[in-house]
Amino acid sequence: MSDTLTTAGAGTTAPARPAYRVTGPRVLRAEWAKLWSLRSTWITLGLALLFLVAFGIIAATRFRSLTGSARMPGDFARSTALSLSLFGTNFAQLALGVLGVLVTAGEYSTGLIRSTLTAVPRRLPVLWSKAAVFGLVALVTGTLGAFTAFLFGSRVVAGTSAAMGFTHAGVVRSLLGAGLYLGLVGVIGTALGALLRSVAAGVAVLVATFMLIPGLMSLLPSSWQADISPYLPSHAGESLFTLAPDPTVLSPQSGLLVFLAWTALALAGAAYRLLRSDA
C-alpha cells in the first residue's frame, strides 16, 4: 500500500505559478500605486492648489482695493484678471517640482530603487513611467488650480479695468498653458531627481533653474539679457500663459518648443545616468 501511495504522490505535480511579464501598463500601474501611497503626495499637491488659488485671490483682492488709488504701482495697474489669477504659479511650480524630485530621488535615499530595478531590469520603463504618471498628475493639478483661481479672481476684479472672463480671447488657451507648464515642471523635477539621486541636490538645482538664475540675469549686459533670457526654462514656460504679446518673451508656440527641449534634455540626462551607473 505504501508503494501505491508513493507512486501516486510521485505522479502529482504542483500547479505551475503563472508567468508575469513586465509590460508598460503594469509598470505604470505600479508607479501610480507608489505615488498615491505617499503622504507627501497628498500634502504637496494640496499646497500647490492652495498656492494657485489663494495667491490668485489675494492678488485680485489687492488690485481691487487699490483701484482708483494713487498708491497703485504702474505695472500693477496694467494687470488683468488672468495675470492676477495666475500670480501663484511661481509658488505652485516650486511645490510640484519638489514633489517631482521626491518621486525619484526619494527611492534612492530609501534604497527602494533596488527593488524597483530588480522587478524592471530594463530600467528605462521605470523612468518613463514615473515621469508620465507624475507629469499627468501635475498637469491635472495645475490646470484645475489655474481655472479655479481665474474663476474666483475674475469675480473679484469684475467692474475694474482688469475685468476679464472665460470668453475673452486667449484666456482659455493661457489657463491650459499654465497647467501644461506646471505639468512639465513636474516632469523636470522627476528627471532631476533621477539624474542627481539626491533630494537636496535635486531641489537646489530646481530652485536655481526656475528662480535664482532668472533673477541673476539682471546683472548681465542688456544685450545679453535680450539674447539669453527668453530661452531660460522659466521664461520660455511663462510664454505659455502670457496673454498679451510681449517683445521680450517668446511666442506661446516657440516657448512651448523651447520648454519641451529643456524637458527632453533633463530626461535624456536622467536616462543616461540610469543606464550607465548602478543604483
| Ramachandran category for residue 277: left, alpha or beta (phi over 0 → left; psi -120 to 50 → alpha) | beta
- Using one digit for the tens of pLDDT, what is the confidence trace for 189-202? 999 999 999 999 99
Give the DSSP per-residue string, 160-207: STT---TTSTTHHHHHHHHHHHHHHHHHHHHHHHHHH--HHHHHHHHH
Residue 148 has a pLDDT of: 97
3 in a domain, yes or no? no
How many structural domains comprise the chain?
A: 1
From CA 213, how far away is CA 201, in angstroms rounded?
16
The number of angstroms, rounded, from the C-alpha of 219 to the middle of its chain's C-alpha atoms is 28
Q: Residue 79: which region, alpha, beta or left (left: phi > 0; alpha: psi -120 to 50)? A: beta
Q: State the cell numbers at 178.
A: 499654465
CB–CB of 143/175 below 8 Å? yes
Give the residue numbers spanning the domain of 191.
Answer: 25-276
Span 117-136, pLDDT tens digits: 888 888 899 999 999 999 99
148 neighbors 89 (Cβ within 8 angstroms) = no
In a domain, 56, yes or no: yes
Q: Is 158 left (phi over 0), alpha (psi -120 to 50) or beta?
A: beta
Please give the model's pTM, rounded to 2 decimal places: 0.88
**Looking at the domain assignment, is residue 109 inside a domain?**
yes
